[in-house]
């Protein structure tokens, strides 16, 4: 399943996630800090999606109250929820 998500409150503008049976196959990001997001996306590739979302949730960026990893956790959770409704 492929899912797109528009983050809020960050420099990144869009995440595209590909999940298969609850695992992250691929994630790409538009905008944000390219090196950091590429690293995070590479690290979570192949992980259980829920475990990745749990690990990324709540990470702040300065005083924003959110961050690209935090928003990625929300994207993963939304993709998982969308996958449940498709079944």
CA 44, distance to chain mean position in Å, is 9
For residue 4, the model assigns a pLDDT of 97
For residue 83, the model assigns a pLDDT of 87
Q: Which two tokens stand for residue 31?
A: 């905008």
Which CATH number does the domain 2-86 belong to among 3.30.390, 1.20.1250, 2.60.40, 3.30.160?
3.30.390
pLDDT tens, position by position, for the chain (87 residues)? 999 999 999 999 999 999 999 999 999 999 999 899 999 999 999 999 999 999 999 999 989 899 999 999 999 999 999 987 765
Angle at the Cα of 60 from the Cα atoms of 70 and 58, rounded to 5 degrees: 45
What is this structure's pTM? 0.93
**Residue boundaries of the structural domains of the chain:** 2-86
CB 75 within 8 A of CB 7: yes
């Amino acid at each position: 399943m492929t899912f797109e998500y528009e983050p809020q409150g960050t420099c990144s503008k869009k995440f595209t996630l590909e999940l298969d049976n609850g695992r992250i196959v691929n994630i790409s990001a538009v905008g944000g800090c390219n090196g950091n997001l590429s690293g995070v996306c590479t690290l979570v590739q192949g992980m259980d999606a829920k475990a990745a979302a749990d690990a990324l949730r709540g990470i702040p960026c300065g005083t924003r109250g959110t961050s690209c990893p935090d928003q990625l956790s929300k994207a993963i959770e939304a993709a998982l929820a969308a996958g449940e409704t498709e079944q």
